[in-house]
Structure formats: C-alpha cells, structure tokens
Chain A
Amino acid sequence: MKNLKLKSARAALDLSQQDLADKVGVSRQTINAIEKGDYNPTINLCIAICRVLGKTLDELFWDEEQ
C-alpha cells in the first residue's frame, strides 16, 4: 500500500527522494520503496524519517483504515 503521507510530507519540505535519503542515511531506492509500499521499514528508520520531516510516527506511518 502506497505511503502518500510520506510523499506529501517530503514534498511539503521540497525534498527529493535523494535529499531525504541522504539525510536519513539510506538509499534513494529505499525511500522510493517505502513510498510505493514495497518495503516495510524498521522502527528505527521510521523514527529517523519522522525526525527529518518533523512529523510523528502516527502522522506518517499510522493508517486509520487498516
């Protein structure tokens, strides 16, 4: 399932996938895979992404519908 929240949060800060990847310390493809829903990141990576984007875990990774 696509993670549109992450994509929009990233876009709001005008960051490319590569920019976010560099800040978090992962590859661009990993960010791409998370956004596309192809990869479930570990909690550590989720926290790192949240910190860079200034969001909480709930805001980026919690899906009410599930």
Chain B
Amino acid sequence: MATKGDKTMKKSIKITLIVIAAALIWIASALVVIIRETESQQTYMTLEEGLIETATTSRFGYFVPVGDECEFSIKTDCPADITSDIKIFIGSKENEPVYTASGVKTNSTVTTGKLAVGNQDVYISFELEDSDNIQVEENCQVKYTIDIKSQNYTLFKNILFAIIVIIVIPLAIFLFYLFNKSKNYEKGYDERQVKVRGIAYMNALFAAIVSALGLGVLSLILDTYPLSTSDTTFAIIMISFATFAIFADKNDAYLGLRGSRRPLAILFGIAGFLNLLGPAIDFITDIRNNSDTVYFSIICGICLLAVSIEMFIKMAREKKEALADEES
C-alpha cells in the first residue's frame, strides 16, 4: 500500500516532469524567437503641425521591442512644392540624430540602412520646407508611410532566461515538496486559520481585480499616467498582498502556530519606511531624478506600512487578551 509520502513524491516527480517539459518547449520557442526577423510593419502618419515627433515604440504598440537593429523605409506623400527633412533619434529626442535626410521630395522613399537602436525608443522628426526653403508651419496634407524591419540578437538573453527557468523552477518545486513533507508545515495552521486564509485569499483576489480596474480607469482619465505597465502590475500585487496580510492577520491566520509576529512587523515597517523615504527625498531635495518609480514606491510603502501597523496593533491586542485570560 502506497504511503502518503510515496504519493507526494510521485506527485512531485510528475510536476517536475511537466515543468521540465514546459521549459523545453519554452527553449524551443526562444530559439524560434532568436532566428525570427520581424517582418516589415507599416503605418501612416499625417502631419498636422509642420513638425511631429513620435516615439515609434509607443505608437507602434505591436512593435515592441523595436529590436537591436532597425531599418526604416519612409515614403513621403505631400504637395509637389514641399520637401521634407527627416531625422531619426535613438534613445531621446535630445540626442544627436543617427540619420538625416534633407530635401526629400514627394513620392520618394528614403531608406536608412541598418541602425543600431539597441531596443531603445526611436524618434522620427519631420520638418517641411517649401520651395524657398522656408519651414512650413501651417497645416498641410502630408502622409508618411513607414516600413520598419528589425532584428533581435537576443540569443544570450533568451538562453540565460531559459537556464534560469530550468534551474529555478524545479528547485522551487523541490523546496515546495520538502516544505510539504515537513511535519511542521502540516501543523502550520489550524483548521480555523486555514478557513480564514481561504477567505483572505478571496479578498486579495477581489482587491487585485478592483485595483486593476481602478488603475485602468485612472490610466484612461489621466493625461500623464504615472505608472508603467510593470509598475502597475507590481502595484496590483502589492495591494492584493496587503489586503491578504491585513485580513489574515486581523483574524489570527497570517502567521502559523509557531510564527512570530514581531520580526515580520519590524521587517515590513522598515521596508515600507524605506519605500517612502525615496519619494520623500525626491520631494524635499529633488536629488534623485527617477520620478518614474516614485508613485510605485509610494504604493509599496503605504501597503507595507499598513501591514506593519496592523501587525503592531494586533500584537498589542493579543498581549492584552492573553493577559486577561491568564488573570481570569
């Protein structure tokens, strides 16, 4: 008769095999990505103000990443007496242009050749001049058709990621198995705590959904939404985690039977404080110039501090309750 340990072992082996198979599939797809050259993409731009500067990576949302090397073919379609000066910048509009074409006439196509863009933002500026070489300021009907070919040399990145996947995931599963095998874990939470944690997970899920919707609406309403996509994701995770931790701890189920609240409360407090310290320094001194991460740090800081404060309050109440029981 198979023991519980044998069953767990078999289950663990099965999961490990599935993960290894998934990792192999991933490597195969990564290799496909390596040899894939992004096909020509095409879009149209209508110039309205004489000069338009567009971050192509954001404008061509389907073209991320741009690639390590890029080749632009730009066809102009404008009134016969107007010529275009085309400049391409990499990284920032303030940088020196990596490509310049002057006096491009209508219905002509300029090709940049391969530009080493290194996955950075690409900016293209168009300046219109009339036959007297005077810059055209007023609106006019101009259309640019831009073809882009890009190539990624992500061999190293992909293989590194694949190695990490291959090593880390089976290791994590092995640790999970060891963790499950441990008798301490089996006694980690009592039945009431398990029940409460289930409700806490559900609340955390709702919090994640609501915060995702809320941040999504904010990104639509605000002209300058301060969080990047990855920051938004982490912010949602932090809000969800804080909801779980606060609800579970409030109902005595965040820590197991042998868990100690004080070190965790201090740790969360310090982490929250440090997260808020960065934005505070930014606000007071303006020394650091990484405003991209300020709002994310504030969200993380508030979430961690909230968990920490709740834990300290709970600790005080616990102490009081235990004392009252001892006295009675």
Contacts and interface: CB of A to CB of B under 8 A. Distances in A.
Are both chains from one complex?
yes
Interface of A: 11, 16-18, 25-30, 32-33, 39, 41-42, 44-45
Interface string B187-215: 10011110000000000000000000000
Given A26-B192, A32-B325, 17 more contacts: A16-B322, A18-B325, A26-B257, A27-B193, A27-B252, A28-B322, A28-B325, A29-B192, A29-B252, A30-B190, A30-B192, A30-B193, A30-B252, A33-B192, A41-B191, A41-B192, A42-B191
Contacts of A41: 191-192
29 contacts: A11-B328, A16-B325, A16-B326, A17-B325, A18-B325, A25-B187, A26-B191, A26-B192, A26-B257, A27-B190, A27-B192, A27-B193, A27-B252, A28-B322, A28-B325, A29-B252, A29-B318, A30-B190, A30-B192, A30-B193, A30-B252, A32-B321, A32-B325, A33-B192, A39-B192, A41-B191, A41-B192, A42-B191, A45-B191
A16 B321 CA distance: 12
Nearest to B192: A30
A41 B257 CA distance: 17
Contacts of A29: 192, 252, 318
Top 10 A-B pairs, shortest CB-CB distance: A26-B190, A29-B252, A30-B192, A17-B325, A30-B190, A39-B192, A27-B257, A27-B190, A42-B191, A16-B326
B192 A18 contact: no
B318 to A, nearest CB: 8
A17 B321 CA distance: 10
B195 to A, nearest CB: 9
Nearest to B189: A27
A8 B192 CA distance: 22
A38 B192 CA distance: 11
Contacts of A32: 321, 325
Nearest to A42: B191
Interface in B236-252: 252
Contacts of A42: 191
